[in-house]
Amino acid sequence: MIVLITGTRTGIGRALAEYLLGRGHQVVGCSRRPATIEHPQYVHHAADVTDVKAIKSMCRAIRADHGRLDAVINNAGTASMNHFMTTPAETSRRMFEVNFFAVLDCCRETVKLLRKSEEPAPAILNVSTVAVPWALEGQLLYSASKAAVEQLTRVMSKELAQFPIRVNGIGLPPVHTVLTRSVPAEKIDVLIQRQAFKRMCTVEDIVGPVDFLISRESGFITGETLFLGGVH
């Protein structure tokens, strides 16, 4: 398969790219800064997903190189943990630019390439967070932007079913990455105690479900966000 993953320089996106490359897929990745992955089947674009022109130019390059996409993983994201009263308006808007509007734009631009796929049901997969079902205080903007992504997943799954492109999500509990490194260990522990499995989620826990959700084995699943760790 040819898979586009956004935000592959670090963290979960990088781990997913390396896993899927190991499984023999061709991966196209992007981030604002240069690549950290070197692999013959990997192509990196220095693209900011909040810049529609950059997304379009990446899609043109994918069309020239491969002619299609079989799966898109909208992973690039940002978080800011702050009481909403002390969150400046620009920070709030930036959060929605990266976490919501970039996902929307990426979906719209890549659908044209997904429609060229010969997979029976090409897949879009969006990354969400336990901050949504847990309505975590201090994470109003982060969780609201990801809640919007979960709603996008539900509505878009219906609008794209005719093609037939599937749209799903994966909801993650805390994982050790750059995104969470400034969160105090005690705060992470409190969250882990809310999970059914009381240990930190690792990238090894994530890659298998992601692989399944973009594969033809899950070809009749659409509009769902699957949460890991037992969080409901």
Ligand X SMILES: NC(=O)c1ccc[n+]([C@@H]2O[C@H](COP(=O)([O-])OP(=O)(O)OC[C@H]3O[C@@H](n4cnc5c(N)ncnc54)[C@H](OP(=O)(O)O)[C@@H]3O)[C@@H](O)[C@H]2O)c1
Supply the residues annotated as catalytic.
128, 142, 146
Residues 101/207/124/99 CA torsion (nearest 10 deg)? -10
Contacts of ligand X in 143-202 (CB under 6 A): 172, 174-175, 177-180
SS3 185: helix
Residue of 1, 76, 156, 165 interacting with ligand X (CB under 6 A): 76
Sheet containing strand 42-46, strands side by side = 42-46, 26-31, 2-6, 71-74, 123-129, 166-172, 225-227
Q: Is residue 80 within the footprint of ligand X (CB under 6 A)?
A: no
What minimum distance in Å lies between the beta carbon of 186 and ligand X? 15
With binding defined as CB under 6 A, does residue 229 bind ligand X? no
What DSSP state is assigned to residue 175? B
Q: Which of 151, 130, 150, 148 is nearest to 139 (CA)?
A: 130
Does the protein bind ligand X through residue 33 (CB under 6 A)?
Answer: yes
Segment 112 to 131, residues that bind ligand X, using CB under 6 A:
127, 129
Q: How far is the CB of 189 from ligand X (least distance, A)?
A: 13
How far apart (Å, rounded) are the C-alpha atoms in residues 85 and 100?
A: 21
In the complex, which residues of this chain contact ligand X (CB under 6 A)? 6-13, 30-33, 48-50, 75-79, 98, 127, 129, 172, 174-175, 177-180
